[in-house]
Structure 1
């Protein structure tokens, strides 16, 4: 038997069920909206994190590039200082040589009359037997043809070379002033801060305020800064390395290092002992201590004379010249200088009337790595930065985003949460020393028998790279109460 529900009762039941789906739908919409805000804020925070990390890397790398360029500039400047010292040594050598040439032209005709006969022509054969053929030909050429020309030119050389040394001193002063400015306590730091700020702002154009300031939201502050202790100025007795390098570089020029030759001839007065008369020419340039370049040139005729069945030699000075360059009132003790054997002719050496240039300032002060860094096999300069972005600057629902939630809305339970209301990123750059890879070798100095080139501020091979931030730097971040992406 079928139960038949009256039509009116069915209509009443349908009216009682109406609106239940709406309540369910409201819960679904609220959950979807919360999920939407959650996903939106999560995506925005992820994007902010990536951008903040990339910006921190850019800021740290820019600071590292400045450090590397500063070290390379110092290296090029030190090389320029060495080159200027080499030029001073060469000018001193030329001046001494010119004085030697002038006295030689003046003394040859009177000290060696064999170079002239009564008619004014050289007795080449006679002088060749006595002094040797090479010296006889030279004597003939100087006395007969080149003497006046050589003397006129030689008289001008000392003044010209002194002017060159004065110009060198101006150049050295300019280089030293540039180095002093670069290594001043606050100059590079202030310039670096401006660059860091510009880089940070360039990465956040039209995207909030990122300022490099001592305090406040949105700062990029240095966590480590070893620039001041990485290098130091070497002056006084600490200039040894520069002096040794300048001396070595100057002596790579054979004319500067040693101007020496001999000419031998048979000594008729000593036939039994096979004695030989000879002309000895010596000359060279040396650095005395750290503040004086000295050059000396001498030439003497050592004539063999018999004495008790043996030969003794008697010196007859021919020519001589000397030039010194040192600061005013700081003439050094140069008794230990070898001067290319110039003092092997003692009488000629004593006859030199030394010319002094007092405008020379000596081996310059210079910047190099600190001793602590020089003792390391691979010194490196690390620099860490901390970039901070305030919560109010983030593009989230409770930040700068166009999607907002009312302050009293329960949806704010899903708003972004960052420690201390800031988001921070740490990046570290490292400046290290490495010569570029040689095409013929895997790495310069590690193959064949070539020595490994050590780091210093005399070689401009400083490069920069990003490295992992040290644990202590990250710990410092946590102590400052910032969330690290």
Structure 2
């Protein structure tokens, strides 16, 4: 009987040990899964905030491009209306007497250019001011989203933990208010608002994206063209002569224009100029000695009206005033220099120089135009290139680690249901009667090639254009992953228990 009782007691201890071990292991697994889900959700918030900044940065760039397009259209249509008005003037109305065919000229003359220009001139200021206000709203949204993310990161992690394990929560002790709080602060400081319109290299970075030839279209940068209205044919008056031999007349317009960002980045400037030129020849015969017949050719130049000065259009979004600059911001594309060549390309350079020096760009579409004040990017976007493009090197240095706890009282071990007077029992021995665990995650930037099989290596990191892209807030390629906890974090958690 003694042997049986001893064996029964040993068997009970083994059963209790297996039961407790199973319950503790199950609780630990659930707690670790809950902690991983909470940490991952915090990392997702990091990535979402960076991607939100990237999308809003792109939206700001797109709206800035839309602003300069509107400024360009204002200048272009004003010049077109001026040209159209001159087509009906006394000097250029000679097309009714000189050529025999004016099909293209008549087509252009019948276009309602002045009406289009009048309507656009009325709505352009409203549109530009609205776009600039929208850009400012994006600036504020970036800042608000970033601050909210930093404040909500631990709260969201705690909510996710509780949804995965109803009895668990993120600890509120020294680890959370210490290590985790400092990590959130470091992550928050890893990006910042940079000025977009001062002389800093960070402002140049934003301006370079806006004026880049991949952002703006050719119409905005360089509008050199030959407008449709023209004539080219024989000459009516010449064919009426009794000794007529041959004749030819040509007249057409040449247009040039372009838009630039000013040197201080606070004005969009646009200028267009159009000049009409041509010629008329008439060849007749006359009797002469000794051949009996000679030929005479007269060539007459035809010049645009308005005292031969042509016409022009201008536009500005930003402070009112004269043009004062012909090239503007140092990194404007070469094709925009001198307003698409309007100041150096004959014949439109004549009205172009008059517009630049005397008339000016006209009334501003928005006195607060130009690049708006801020955009968000990495704190040091122009820093040194990392030696290897690992996730940690490319934006992933800012890990978020949470400590999660589960009360021992909520774990159904043997001591919870056996009476206190039971002789055979086995306590779980949890320190402070609490089970704790750690989990870490981070957001990192990765724009891989489609055939990238080398994971996070410098060779495998480069894009399809063979350039390696560093972490930035212009492209939404931020993602999240769990990472291992450091020994220092484990030690700190153990010490706090």
Contact (CA 8 Å) 2:20, 2:428: kept in 1 or not? yes
- Once residues 439 and 139 of structure 1 are traced to their aligned partners in structure 2, the CA distance between those partners, rounded to angstroms, is 56
- Give the unaligned 5+ runs of structure 1: 1-21, 129-135, 266-275, 305-312
Map 1:80-119 to 2 at 5 A: 80-110=59-89, 112-113=91-92, 115-116=93-94
Pairing partner for 2:496 from 471, 480, 483: 480
Cα pair 2:260 2:269 within 8 Å, conserved: yes
Aligned pair count reads 416
Answering whether residue 427 of structure 2 is matched by residue 415 of structure 1, we say yes
Q: Aligned-pair distance for 1:426?
A: 1.1
Q: Within the alignment, does 1:194 sit opposite 2:149 as a pair?
A: no
Query: Does 1:464 pair with 2:476?
Result: no
SS, match of residue 402 in structure 2: strand
Larger radius of gyration: 1
| Structure 1 counterpart of 2:378 | 369
Partner of 1:430: 442
TM-score (norm 2): 0.73
Structure 2 unaligned regions, length at least 5: 232-249, 280-302, 329-336
Per-residue CA distance 1:321-379 (angstroms, 9 max, x = gap): 100001x5798853434211122215433233422123544323111112078544522
Whether 2:204 is the aligned partner of 1:240: answer yes
> Map of 1:75-224 to 2, 5 A cutoff?
75-110=54-89, 112-113=91-92, 115-116=93-94, 121=96, 123-124=98-99, 139=105, 141-143=107-109, 145-146=110-111, 149-184=112-147, 187-205=148-166, 208=167, 210-212=168-170, 214-215=172-173, 222=180, 224=183
How many angstroms does 1:252 deviate by?
3.8
Aligned twin of 1:392 = 409
**C-alpha distance 49-213 of structure 1, shift in aligned 2 (>3 A):** closer
Which residue of structure 2 lines up, in the alignment, with residue 227 of structure 1?
Answer: 187
Secondary structure of 1:438's partner? coil
Conserved in 2, the CA contact under 8 Å of 1:165 and 1:360?
no
Secondary structure at the residue paired with 2:364?
strand
- Alignment deviations for residues 47-80 of structure 1 (CA, whole Å, 9 cap, x no partner): 1211111111111111111111111111111111
Secondary structure in 1 aligned to 2:447? Answer: coil
Deviation at 1:465, TM superposition (A): 1.2
Q: Hey, what does 1:452 align to over in structure 2?
A: 468
- Looking at structure 2, the residues matched to 171 and 241 of structure 1 have their Cα atoms a distance apart, in angstroms, of 21
Aligned-pair Cα RMSD in Å: 3.7
Contact kept in structure 2, 1:91 and 1:165, CA below 8 Å: yes
Q: Within the alignment, does 1:34 sit opposite 2:13 as a pair? A: yes
Query: Partners of 1:477 and 1:101 in 2: how far apart?
Result: 74
* TM-score (normalizing by structure 1): 0.75
Matched residues in 2 for 1:204 and 1:454: separation?
38
